[in-house]
Amino acid sequence: MLVTSDRIEHTQRVRKLRAPPARDSFSDALAEAEEWGGRTFGDHNRGFLVALDLAFAALSGNPDKQRLLDAVDPLPAESVALIERLRRQRAERHR
């Protein structure tokens, strides 16, 4: 991938965003889960909205914005099979 001045400028803008510090271990993830465990739905919703704002701010000047927004990670085959099985079971229960 060619590094362009647009990408460099975008990277510099993204680095200035105020995001929470990165967590890089399982114990950090558990600590974060505990922090959020007792919070209200409103707290979770506000956190989600902040994460969305950060994501869209990071995308705002990215020259690859549309390609990134259009990207779709397919579900693993076993997940698709599980979803189909659960849908069939639900349909059978509601007949």
Number of domains in the chain: 1
**Full-model pTM:** 0.45
Q: Is 18 helix (H, G, I), strand (E, B) or coil?
A: coil
Placement of tokens 């914005």 in the chain: 65
The predicted model gives 64-78 an average pLDDT of 92
Is the predicted pLDDT of residue 87 greater than 90, yes or no?
yes
Gap between the Cα atoms of 90 and 93, Å rounded: 5
- Domain with 15, as residue range(s), is 5-93
Q: Exposed, middle or buried by CB within 10 Å (0-12, 13-18, 19+), for 54?
A: middle
Tens of pLDDT, residues 22-41: 667 787 878 878 888 888 99
Amino acid at residue number 13: R
Quickly count helices (H) and strands (E) in the chain: 5, 0
